[in-house]
Amino acid sequence: MPRQLSRNSSLLSRKSRRHFLQGSAAALAGIGLSNCRRTIGETETTASDTSSDDAPAASGTLHIYTWADYTDDELAAQFTEATGIDVKIDVYDSNETMLAKMQAGGGANYSLLYPSDYMVTEMIGLEMLTALDKSRLVGLDKMREKWASPVYDPDNTHSIPYSWGTTGLLYNSEVLTEVPADWNYLWENKDVLSRKMTMLDDVRETLGAVLSSLGYSYNATDPAQLEEAYQRLLDLKPSLASFKSFGWQDELLSGDLLLSMVYSVEGIPVSIENPTFKYVIPESGSSVWTDTMVIPTSAPNIDAAYEWINFNLQPQVSKETVERLYFATPNGEAMTMLSQELLDNKDLFPPEDLLAKCEGIAPVGEANALYDEYWTKVTSA
């Protein structure tokens, strides 16, 4: 999920969407929030279930660098109980922030990362990822066909698909009675939305959306197309409240915001808990992302990293994280265990004709310099 935050914590503690939903109970009168903290406590797992017979026993501490809300206290505690391995988690909200920290040597303690698809390709090229020993993995054969040999990492040589989702628009349907069906809505209604909308603080997502609004690829590399997208975003900038990937929830609830560009993993839970807010995937297409689990070449505890991967490959664990955190799973067996209500949620599992219009964010090579140049200009304007 192309999503700059790094907070040290022994267990995940950032203010997340779940805090938003629970803390806003008074304002959301009548909305049931009892399932906001569902856990995976029902899963019965032993250390022998999560590792191959020939793998060495892991111990010590596993340091993980991941997106917010991809794990929780219960999951970490259950893993520790099963394996004896302590877990310490730091979070980020940008692939680029994660990469910069790893390249600067600040990530030497991490044995497990969660990069997005395009970042996996980039990190392979930089020789930053360990080639996985498939004999130490249990459950990789349960991946759905699309993720059995993904284009960003053929044969899952360096990465394990963990989650997937889309990027879209979350809006207040009581105020905005017209559905923001496509990206052009932002420009067509910029006076109504002035200072009441946000776009992601993410160069590839936001410039990608602007490119899409112009009929170009999310992954365009043509300098003329990028210049046109920059000028179009610059035109919208005065009407934006901010570029923000996280922390927009309270503003949306209070009415200070009417619309936010969000990741599905952040937007769908809000729309489920409060139907006033609706999540829309732009009809012309958006990004569809996959986040993965990888072991960096600098990992100090590879054995523990394999234990964590195998633990999360279990269909029951995958199924319950979908129920708890509302991201789609690439685990085919886990899919068969989901309720029909979840499977019928078209925000979570969009129809194939809409997905066909979406693109995965891909490396853009030398065009990265132009993306960065235009992003710096527009965010500092």
Residue pLDDT, tens place only, 182-198: 999 999 999 999 999 99
pTM: 0.80
Main-chain dihedrals φ then ψ at residue 114, nearest 5 degrees: -125, 60
94 and 71 in a single domain? The answer is yes
pLDDT tens digit string along 309-359? Answer: 999 999 999 998 888 888 899 999 999 999 999 999 999 999 999 999 999
Task: Report yes or no on 71 lying in a domain.
Answer: yes
177 and 223 in a single domain? The answer is yes
21 and 157 in a single domain? The answer is yes
Burial code (b: 16+ CB inside 10 Å, e: under 16) for 148-187 equals bebebbeebebbbbbbbbbbbbbbbbeebeeebebbebbe
pLDDT tens digit string along 209-260? Answer: 999 999 999 999 999 999 999 999 999 999 999 999 888 999 999 999 999 9
Kindly report the number of other CB atoms within 10 A of residue 369's CB atom: 10
CATH number of the domain within which 193 lies: 3.40.190.10
User: Between vectors from CA 7 to CA 83 and to CA 309, what angle results, nearest 5°?
Assistant: 30
Do the beta carbons of residue 327 and residue 263 sit within 8 Å?
no
Task: Report yes or no on 304 lying in a domain.
Answer: yes
pLDDT tens digit string along 118-161? Answer: 999 999 999 999 999 999 999 999 999 999 999 999 999 999 99
335 and 376 in a single domain? The answer is no
pLDDT tens digit string along 44-88? Answer: 333 334 444 444 456 689 999 998 778 888 888 889 999 999 999
Q: For the residues 16-40, what does the mean pLDDT come to?
A: 31
Do the beta carbons of residue 207 and residue 375 sit within 8 Å?
yes
Model confidence at 1, pLDDT cuts 50, 70, 90, reads low
Main-chain dihedrals φ then ψ at residue 379, nearest 5 degrees: -80, -20
Mean model confidence pLDDT for the chain? 85
pLDDT tens digit string along 282-295? Answer: 999 999 999 999 99
243 and 317 in a single domain? The answer is no
Task: Report yes or no on 1 lying in a domain.
Answer: no
Do the beta carbons of residue 204 and residue 2 sit within 8 Å?
yes
pLDDT > 50? residue 11: no
What is the model's pLDDT at position 8? 32
Domain span at residue 268?
165-288+354-380
DSSP state of 200: -
What is the model's pLDDT at position 57? 52
Model confidence at 99, pLDDT cuts 50, 70, 90, reads very high
| Number of domains forming the structure of the chain | 2
Task: Report yes or no on 330 lying in a domain.
Answer: yes
